[in-house]
Homo-oligomer: A and B are copies of this chain.
Amino acid sequence: MKRIAVSPNVINRLPKYINCLERLKWKEVDRVSSAQLAEMLESTPSQVRQDFALFGNYGAQGYGYKTDYLLQEIKAVIGLNMTHNIAVIGVGSIGRALLEHIDFNRYNYRVCAAFDVDSDKIGSEIKGVEIYDINDLKSYMKMNKIDIAMLTVSPTVAKQVAAQLCDMGVRAIWNFTGEALGLPSDKILIQNVSFLDSLFTLTYRLENE
């Protein structure tokens, strides 16, 4: 795997390739061309080949790509062959829903712990993940290696909790709060999921296209 600057557009297409290739694998299609993938992704054969060529030579002239091999390679490019430990910060309805909804184990993620302020929740489990007192977060983080903090606290405390996570040395926050966390990008990686942004984009397209 080469180590180069990859544009955000390419990075955002990588999960789409995973999705396509898994659908093909499910249908037991063990061979695929850039043209077929392009059609599935509403892209072009050129772009598909350019994207893959950034990371390696995964295909064969006159043949195409082996579905499963290509899938494994793209997974490796993203880093899905490594295990990533996740902590859930805030077990409100969103945190709970994501815990129940997402198949983390399928892609080598381990949800190690969840944290909340509510004493009614502390001590209970969701999907086998124990909920701890958020006051124990700091000591937990010292004892355990957490790669990604899934931030699902209420917007009112989002910035404050995020700053604490940053101080604790967490490397990445998956931010569902809708708040701008305002942390230095050289210290911590922030991935925002904004439902409103998505709804606004939908609305623009609905009214203007």
Mask, A80-102, CB within 8 Å of B = 1, is 10101000000011101110111
What residue in chain B is nearest A40 (Cβ atoms)? B180
Cβ 8 A contact of A78, one of B19, B82, B194, B203 = B203
* Complex contact A101–B109 (CB within 8 A): no
Q: Tell me how many residues of A have a C-beta within 8 Å of chain B.
A: 52
Shortest CB-to-CB span from A150 to chain B, Å, is 9
**Which A residues fall within an 8 A CB radius of B?**
3, 6, 11-12, 14-16, 18-19, 23, 77-80, 82, 84, 92-94, 96-98, 100-102, 107, 109, 147-148, 171-172, 174, 180, 189, 191, 193-209
Given contacts A93-B100, A101-B94, A195-B101, contact A15 B78 (CB under 8 A): no
Cβ 8 A contact of A201, one of B12, B196, B197 = B12
Q: CA–CA, A80 to B15, complex, Å? A: 31
Q: CA–CA, A206 to B93, complex, Å? A: 27
Cβ 8 A contact of A79, one of B16, B195, B203 = B203
Query: With a CB–CB cut-off of 8 A, which chain B residues contact A96?
Result: 93, 97
* Complex contact B23–A199 (CB within 8 A): no
Given contacts A11-B201, A148-B206, A205-B11, contact A195 B102 (CB under 8 A): yes
Given contacts A195-B101, A200-B80, A201-B15, contact A172 B206 (CB under 8 A): yes
Query: With a CB–CB cut-off of 8 A, which chain B residues contact A201?
Result: 11-12, 14-15, 191
Q: CA–CA, A133 to B101, complex, Å? A: 23
Query: With a CB–CB cut-off of 8 A, which chain B residues contact A191?
Result: 198-199, 201-202, 205
Given contacts A100-B93, A207-B82, contact A200 B23 (CB under 8 A): no
Query: With a CB–CB cut-off of 8 A, which chain B residues contact A207?
Result: 78-79, 82
